Structure 1
């Protein structure tokens, strides 16, 4: 029995010793990492604790360099609404009258004489010729006026002035069609070709014509076919931006005919009313350049006929403008004249000379540098401004 007790005691001692050796080792073993946390260096584990930490996200905004350029927001120009063209020449009449005052006063001083002798009639002729009416036109006007004064026995200045105004108006042929053919037809826009020599104000006039059309309710697209002068395309684009019209342009030095063709095609695709094509300034004695202008017209006509070809003439060039007009007419069949800078010359009679010599109606006149200083030509209002004063 004693042996049994001793065996049990020894067994208990052995078990207790084994437990004492195993438990400390288990305590020294590292706890397994928590799922989703790191235990390696650089993962946020606290040294000596075996516990992983998660850094909260930073709320600080990144610092921008001090030398960044300022942010520039490009603003589109406000779209302007041009003033209606009805009666525009009447509103601009005072401006024309100021430049023609010497001419008007000179005529009226002669007409106020009690007796109009040969010397008086020669002075009237000289005044008209000086105003660039032209020798042939002047002779016809004066002869008709002399006959009316003789037959009617006119005596007062007002009566003679009225008769002169009637003769000048008749010389302008008020029955000529001065309307601009700008309405779309046959599923395509009307096409207006703007031509003229360097320095006549052609690109500016092209932009102003666009404003005239928009003021009268037409939608307009510009074609910048003056590819030899980058400033011309930029200038025309600016005119278009002001009134909300698109501008088709090509590379500098590119083919003008190609630009004109593309402009008309886009006009057809966008269903605009009128396409205005600005061409390069041509010197009438440069045969090659004139041939190129003819090419532009032929290429454009692959879409359909050109509805208007407007020749821009500088009123200050006087009779030289007639030679310019004649050559252009032979190349592109000019249908109307735009006479610019008429407020800056006392030679407004060039209007009569152009129409009498070439049979081409003056359709628009420029009377200043303002965007709306281009007016439809009205013969009676023009003559009243030419003579000055009221009828």
Structure 2
């Protein structure tokens, strides 16, 4: 029999640390199969480490400091080192998140960014300066296309040629193309040729003669629009073709008269277009003027009748009646306009007290026909010329004044309320001549 002290004690006395580290006995002590039998036991032990660790057995002092554990780095790397780096990674992760953003300090970057907005604000302050230009500046700018077409041709013509018959004929053609009309162009050429035949003449001298002749024609028709306070309400009827700017002109006049303290009422007589009714309502809200409107398609004469009744009841100073745009060659539409005038006169025999024909400067010679037809149907008392800032045909106003002699009350050179101003013959003449 074998001695129990020789075989049994070594395996039983191995501590938990020894089993955890998978430490083997000396190779010669178990040559037959002890290592093979323990191998399957050692494999599951690392997997169950997390559940076994809380209950370790007392480790004898012999097993704690063995030299073999230092000589075999591989086993401890698979057990202890797997758990040691995990807390190190969790500790290192929050450190850069908490420290690095504070070191960057975006505060100085924010202090530098407000500087560009300050520059933009300064640019915005400079931008409104063009809006403060005088009406003369806006008129000159608006008529620049008309003046350029006229003066460039004159400069090219007379700068190197004498005023012979051929030169004067070409000069007349230039004036006619500028829509000044045949009669006015002929008068200007006669004035230029007087005492200068076969002589050289400076372009600036020709421009001065054109401006003087234009002012002579426009001077008698340049009359401001005045409200007769003896009539209350003062009834003003606005007429014109489609797109001439009637509704916008009404809104601008309402803004100016409201600024003077007058009580203004607007009547949406353009019942063909729902947009025109809404546009007039917007102007009423902007200016503080009351608006009389009916559903689209309503009788325009009925709207005018109701507006006069309401204006009298409310003590209105000025009543402006809008009408639908209509071409002067549409007989049925012109007949409807005539009906509106008749209904107004039934309410007040002296009304309408003013009938303004709004002319679009871009239509050129067609404006002459409009003045003639609307004058017969509605009894036009004065003219308003709009869109002078977008055409090279501003000279048509001279031809209209020379032929019809109707007062020119207002001219428009933009969309703003202050871009509609009383007509000044001298300023207009100098602007159209490029002076």
- TM-score using structure 1 length: 0.71
User: Any conservation in 1 of the 2:255–2:287 contact (CA below 8 Å)?
Assistant: yes
Match of 2:224 in 1: 179
Match of 1:341 in 2: 387
User: Any conservation in 1 of the 2:386–2:412 contact (CA below 8 Å)?
Assistant: yes
Match of 1:328 in 2: 374
Which is greater in Rg? 2
User: Any conservation in 2 of the 1:180–1:308 contact (CA below 8 Å)?
Assistant: no
User: Any conservation in 1 of the 2:154–2:203 contact (CA below 8 Å)?
Assistant: no
Cα displacement string for residues 315-357 of structure 1 (whole angstroms, at most 9, x for unaligned residues): 1111111112211111011111111211111111100111122
For 1:137 and 1:300, how far apart are their aligned partners in 2?
Answer: 38
User: Any conservation in 2 of the 1:181–1:190 contact (CA below 8 Å)?
Assistant: no
For 1:335 and 1:326, how far apart are their aligned partners in 2?
Answer: 12
Match of 1:306 in 2: 352
For 1:129 and 1:155, how far apart are their aligned partners in 2?
Answer: 20
Match of 2:86 in 1: none
1:133 is aligned to 2:180: yes
Closer/same/farther in 2, CA of residues 129 and 215 from structure 1, 3 Å limit: farther
User: Any conservation in 2 of the 1:210–1:220 contact (CA below 8 Å)?
Assistant: yes
For 1:334 and 1:326, how far apart are their aligned partners in 2?
Answer: 9
RMSD: 2.4
Q: CA deviation at 1:108?
A: 4.0
For 2:135 and 2:176, how far apart are their aligned partners in 1?
Answer: 24
Closer/same/farther in 2, CA of residues 256 and 271 from structure 1, 3 Å limit: same
1:17-32 maps to which residues of 2 (within 5 A)?
none
User: Any conservation in 2 of the 1:219–1:274 contact (CA below 8 Å)?
Assistant: yes
User: Any conservation in 2 of the 1:284–1:327 contact (CA below 8 Å)?
Assistant: yes
Match of 2:233 in 1: 189
Q: CA deviation at 1:167?
A: 0.7
Closer/same/farther in 2, CA of residues 261 and 318 from structure 1, 3 Å limit: same
Closer/same/farther in 2, CA of residues 374 and 88 from structure 1, 3 Å limit: farther
Number of residues of Structure 1 aligned to a counterpart in Structure 2 = 300
- TM-score using structure 2 length: 0.64
Q: CA deviation at 1:166?
A: 0.7
Match of 2:338 in 1: 294
Closer/same/farther in 2, CA of residues 273 and 183 from structure 1, 3 Å limit: farther
For 1:249 and 1:145, how far apart are their aligned partners in 2?
Answer: 55
Say which structure is richer in helix: 2
Q: Which ranges of structure 1 fall in alignment gaps of 5 or more residues?
A: 1-86
1:251 is aligned to 2:298: no
Q: Which ranges of structure 2 fall in alignment gaps of 5 or more residues?
A: 1-132
For 1:163 and 1:217, how far apart are their aligned partners in 2?
Answer: 43
Q: CA deviation at 1:268?
A: 2.1
1:170 is aligned to 2:229: no
For 2:152 and 2:340, how far apart are their aligned partners in 1?
Answer: 46
For 1:288 and 1:360, how far apart are their aligned partners in 2?
Answer: 26
1:363 is aligned to 2:409: yes
